[in-house]
Amino acid sequence: MEDLNGTAYVVLGMLGLGARTGYDVKNIVDKSARFFWAASYGQIYPELRRLEQAGLVEGRSAPSGGRKRREFQLTEKGREELLGWLAQPAQMPELRDESLLKLFFSDALPREQALEQLRARREGHEEFLAFLRMVQAEPGGEDPPFVDLILRYGIAYAEFNVEWCKREEKRLSRKAAA
């Protein structure tokens, strides 16, 4: 196995799903994996160059409308690397959620300001849920089964967070009134 980071595997996986350019990779990430693994253009393009140097992808010039453009595809070595990585057990994720961190320390705030942190979390998850439902409703065929699985996970995760925030807002509001 190569010494690759998570973004490299995102790029390899997206190319395996049919992405061709760095722009395509970013676009697919933003509509699918963003809620659990974000990747910026500043990560994707350097990673494409590194993967090409390692022989895991190959690029070719494909100008479009006067714009420079490179399309990439997995090499056999790249496909083997991706499949090898997929076959390995995943490490337990380290959750980093600034909203939860702020809630953890919100006892230092006046109660109404602390509750506003919880409301903001709920509103963020409501927006996220609306986005995921929009993605789910987009025409264009059926997603591969495990891409659909993760979309369903995202929807369930957002629904859980919205309901949890509502329940806790009520509980903490009653406690403050008592």
The count of other CB atoms within 10 Å of the CB of residue 103 is 17
Could you tell me if 165 and 119 are in contact, meaning their C-beta atoms sit under 8 angstroms apart? yes
Close Cβ partners of 60 (under 8 Å, ≥ 6 residues apart): 70, 71
Residue 130 to residue 132: CA distance in whole angstroms: 6
Q: What stretch of H or E contains 26?
A: helix 22-31
pLDDT in tens, the chain (178 residues): 568 999 999 999 999 988 799 999 999 898 888 888 889 999 999 999 999 999 999 999 988 888 888 999 999 999 999 999 999 999 888 888 899 999 999 999 999 999 999 999 999 999 999 999 998 988 877 888 999 999 999 999 999 999 999 999 999 998 877 7
